């Protein structure tokens, strides 16, 4: 695990879809011909950004640590299940399927190969 980068908190861009909906311009817009007074528009911009940032920071302060702890436990359980249960089960299936693959190959070889050889010899006799 590397250093915590406080300037780039989404280095893998997993929340790029949110960037397009959290800016004032992406939520509120006044078309040409119907616009509010400039001071109302400027104050709306300031209020939107203040409350968006304040509510987000308050929500993360109140809930962020607990939610992060819950997700940490969730991914620990996922890792545990994969390491100690799912991967060994898949390995058992892989080993057993390998045996079944050999058996299936023997059965097909014994039953179908003679029929296919006979059909091939019959059709081999037909030439132009």
At 91, list the tokens: 């390995």
Cα 18 to Cα 56: distance, rounded to the nearest angstrom: 13
Q: Residue 8 domain-assigned?
A: no
For residues 25 and 49, is the Cβ–Cβ distance under 8 A? no
* Number of structural domains found in the chain: 1
Q: Residue 83 domain-assigned?
A: yes
C-alpha count within 13 angstroms, C-beta hemisphere, residue 64: 7
Q: Residue 118 domain-assigned?
A: no
Among 1-5, 28-32, 44-48, 115-119, which range has the highest average pLDDT? 44-48
Per-residue pLDDT at 97: 95
Q: Residue 77 domain-assigned?
A: yes
pLDDT digits (tens, 9 = 90+) for 45-89: 999 999 999 999 999 999 999 999 999 999 999 999 999 999 999
Structural domain of 87: 16-28+35-96
Q: Where are the alpha helices (DSSP H) in 1-128?
A: 16-19, 24-27, 38-59, 65-81, 87-124
Q: Does 127 score more than 80 pLDDT?
A: no
Q: Residue 115 domain-assigned?
A: no
Per-residue pLDDT at 99: 92
Q: Residue 11 domain-assigned?
A: no
Q: Residue 119 domain-assigned?
A: no
């Amino acid at each position: 695990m590397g250093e915590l980068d406080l300037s780039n908190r989404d280095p893998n861009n997993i929340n790029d879809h949110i960037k397009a909906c959290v800016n004032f311009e992406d939520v509120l817009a006044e078309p040409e011909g119907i616009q509010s007074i400039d001071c109302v528009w400027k104050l709306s911009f300031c209020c939107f950004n203040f409350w968006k940032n304040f509510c987000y920071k308050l929500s993360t302060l109140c809930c962020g640590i607990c939610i992060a702890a819950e997700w940490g436990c969730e991914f620990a359980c996922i890792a545990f299940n994969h390491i100690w249960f799912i991967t060994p089960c898949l390995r058992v299936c892989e080993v057993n399927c390998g045996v079944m693959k050999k058996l299936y190959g023997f059965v097909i070889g014994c039953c179908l190969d003679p029929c296919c050889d006979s059909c091939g010899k019959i059709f081999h006799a037909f030439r132009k």
